[in-house]
C-alpha cells in the first residue's frame, strides 16, 4: 500500500498563507500524479489573528498537536502592529527550542531565473548552510532592570552548551561528508568572544577527528562575509551559531539571487519530533495581499520536507518542475518577472502533469 503522510500546515501571517496555499496545491498535484504516496495537510490557524483572539500565538497543547504529524510546513510570522519579539518568541521560537529542532539547514544555490550578483564565472553559488537552532544568542537568557530610568539596563546572554555544540557540529560534518566536495567551514567569533566561541572551536577540533575525510577550516564571522562575496567558490558547507547563521544565510540568499527562493528546514535529526519546513523570508507586509509573493522558497522547502519523510524521488521531480518553470521565465516581480503567485502555481502544475 502507498505510504500516507500527515502534514501540519501553519500558514501564519502576511504572505505566509499565500505561499503555503500555493505549495499545498502543487504538492497535492504531485502526489496525485505520481500515485506513489498520499499526503494530507491539516490547517492550523496559529499566528497573529489567533493571538489577537486568544492572547496566545500557539494553542496550549501546541507541542502535542504537532507531534501527531509526520512534518510541518510553515509560512511566516510577524505583523506590523505586534512587536516582532512577541510574535517570533510566541510562535516560531516556541516550537524550535521545545521540539529540539536543533539543526536549521539552508541550501543556497543560484536558481534558474535568478541572477547571482557576484562575478562567479558561469557556475553561480552552491552552498549548504547549517545553523545551530536551539541555543546560543537566541537562548532567551537575560533581562531588563531599572525600566524607564535613565540608567535602564538590559542583558542578552548567549548560552552555548557542549551538548548543543557537539550535536550541531556532528550534523555539519556529516552534511559536508555527504556532499561531493567534503568541505566545511566553521564560523565563530572566538577572538572577541572568549568563552562560548572558544568552546565552539574546541568542540569543532575534537569532532573533526572523527571525520578525516572532511576538509575543514574556521573563520571569524566578519571575515566570512568578505569571503562569501570575494571567494564564493572556496565555500561549500558552513556551520555557525544561531545569530551568525541567521545573518549569513540572508546574505547567502541575496548573493545567490533572491530571498524569494531560499528554503529552510528545522530538523530534529533524532526524528523523535516532527521537523518543520519554511521559507527563509518573513511575512513581507509590503506585498501582502497583492498576489505576487514568490512561492518558490516554500516549494523548495516542501521538496526538502518530502526528502526528509522519505520521498526523495518526488522531491527531485518537484524541483525539476519548479526549475523548468523558472528557466522558462515564469517569474514573480522579485525576480524581475511579471507573473503572479497563482500563475507560477499553475505553470508548475502543468509541468507536473507532464511527468511520465
Q: What is the DSSP letter of 36?
A: S
The whole-angstrom separation of Cα 293 and Cα 105 is 22
CB of 249: closest distance to Mg ion in angstroms?
7
Of these partners, Mg ion, ligand NAI, none, which one is at the site of residue 283 (CB under 5 to 8 Å by kind)?
ligand NAI
CB of 202: closest distance to ligand NAI in angstroms?
31
Cβ proximity to ligand NAI, 139 vs 298, nearer residue: 298
Contact set for ligand NAI, span 245-304 (CB under 6 A)? 259-260, 278, 281-287, 293-294, 297
CB of 92: closest distance to ligand NAI in angstroms?
6
CA atoms within 13 A on the CB side of 8: 24
Of these partners, Mg ion, ligand NAI, none, which one is at the site of residue 76 (CB under 5 to 8 Å by kind)?
ligand NAI
The whole-angstrom separation of Cα 118 and Cα 218 is 23
The whole-angstrom separation of Cα 355 and Cα 30 is 9
Of these partners, Mg ion, ligand NAI, none, which one is at the site of residue 286 (CB under 5 to 8 Å by kind)?
ligand NAI
- Say if residues 61 and 94 touch (Cβ distance below 8 Å): no
Contact set for Mg ion, span 220-259 (CB under 5 A)? 246
Report the candidate in 24, 109, 113, 22 with the shortest Cα–Cα distance to residue 330: 113
The whole-angstrom separation of Cα 297 and Cα 326 is 12
- Say if residues 189 and 220 touch (Cβ distance below 8 Å): yes
Our finding on whether 77 is near ligand NAI (CB under 6 A) is: yes
Cβ proximity to ligand NAI, 15 vs 219, nearer residue: 15
Catalytic residue among 246, 307, 317, 334: 246
Cβ proximity to Mg ion, 248 vs 345, nearer residue: 248
5 is catalytic: no
Of these partners, ligand NAI, Mg ion, none, which one is at the site of residue 260 (CB under 5 to 8 Å by kind)?
ligand NAI
The whole-angstrom separation of Cα 342 and Cα 232 is 34
The whole-angstrom separation of Cα 240 and Cα 200 is 9
CB of 47: closest distance to ligand NAI in angstroms?
10
* Contact residue for ligand NAI among 76, 165, 326, 348 (CB under 6 A): 76
The whole-angstrom separation of Cα 270 and Cα 278 is 19
Catalytic residue among 138, 236, 307, 317: 138
Our finding on whether 334 is near ligand NAI (CB under 6 A) is: yes
- Say if residues 276 and 74 touch (Cβ distance below 8 Å): yes
> Which positions ≥6 away from 215 have C-beta within 8 Å?
182, 183, 184
- Say if residues 105 and 174 touch (Cβ distance below 8 Å): no
Report the candidate in 259, 235, 237 with the shortest Cα–Cα distance to residue 247: 259
Cβ proximity to ligand NAI, 37 vs 89, nearer residue: 89
Binding segment for ligand NAI (CB under 6 A), chosen from 75-83, 211-219, 232-240, 266-274, is: 75-83
Site residues (CB under 6 A) for ligand NAI? 15, 19, 76-78, 84, 88, 92, 259-260, 278, 281-287, 293-294, 297, 332, 334
Q: Would you please indicate which residues are annotated as catalytic (active-site) residues? A: 138, 189, 222, 246, 250
Site residues (CB under 5 A) for Mg ion? 246
Amino acid at each position: 500500500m502507498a505510504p500516507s503522510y500527515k502534514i501540519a500546515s501553519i500558514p501564519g501571517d502576511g504572505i505566509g498563507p499565500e505561499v503555503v496555499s500555493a505549495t499545498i496545491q502543487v504538492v497535492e498535484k504531485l502526489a496525485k500524479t505520481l500515485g506513489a504516496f498520499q499526503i494530507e495537510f491539516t490547517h492550523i490557524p496559529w499566528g497573529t489573528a489567533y493571538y489577537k483572539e486568544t492572547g496566545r500565538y500557539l494553542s496550549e497543547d501546541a507541542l502535542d498537536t504537532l507531534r501527531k504529524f509526520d512534518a510541518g510546513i510553515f509560512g511566516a510570522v510577524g505583523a506590523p502592529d505586534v512587536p516582532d519579539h512577541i510574535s517570533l518568541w510566541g510562535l516560531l521560537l516556541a516550537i524550535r527550542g521545545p521540539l529540539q529542532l536543533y539543526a536549521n539547514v539552508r541550501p543556497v544555490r543560484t536558481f534558474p531565473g535568478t541572477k547571482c550578483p557576484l562575478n562567479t564565472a558561469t557556475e553561480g553559488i552552491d552552498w549548504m548552510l547549517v545553523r545551530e537552532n536551539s541555543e546560543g544568542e537566541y537562548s532567551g537568557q537575560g533581562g531588563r532592570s531599572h525600566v524607564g530610568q535613565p540608567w535602564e539596563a538590559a542583558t542578552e546572554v548567549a548560552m552555548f552548551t557542549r551538548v548543543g555544540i557537539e550535536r550541531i557540529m556532528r550534523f555539519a560534518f556529516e552534511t559536508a561528508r555527504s556532499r561531493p566536495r567534503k568541505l566545511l567551514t566553521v564560523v565563530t567569533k572566538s577572538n572577541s568572544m572568549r568563552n562560548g566561541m572558544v568552546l565552539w572551536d574546541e568542540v569543532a577540533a575534537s569532532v573533526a577527528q572523527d571525520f578525516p575525510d572532511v576538509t575543514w577550516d574556521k573563520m571569524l564571522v566578519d571575515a566570512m562575509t568578505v569571503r562569501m562575496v570575494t571567494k564564493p567558490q572556496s565555500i561549500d558547507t558552513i556551520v555557525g551559531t544561531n545569530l551568525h547563521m541567521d545573518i549569513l544565510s540572508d546574505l547567502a540568499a541575496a548573493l545567490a539571487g533572491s530571498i524569494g527562493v531560499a528554503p529552510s528546514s528545522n530538523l530534529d535529526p533524532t526524528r523523535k519530533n516532527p521537523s518543520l519546513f519554511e521559507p527563509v523570508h518573513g511575512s513581507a507586509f509590503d506585498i501582502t495581499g497583492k498576489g505576487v509573493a514568490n512561492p518558490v522558497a516554500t516549494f523548495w522547502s516542501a521538496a526538502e520536507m518530502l526528502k526528509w519523510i522519505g520521498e526523495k524521488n518526488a522531491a527531485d521531480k518537484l524541483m525539476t518542475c519548479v526549475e523548468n518553470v523558472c528557466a522558462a521565465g515564469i517569474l514573480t516581480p522579485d525576480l524581475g518577472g511579471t507573473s503572479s503567485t497563482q500563475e507560477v502555481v499553475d505553470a508548475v502544475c502543468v509541468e507536473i502533469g507532464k511527468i511520465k
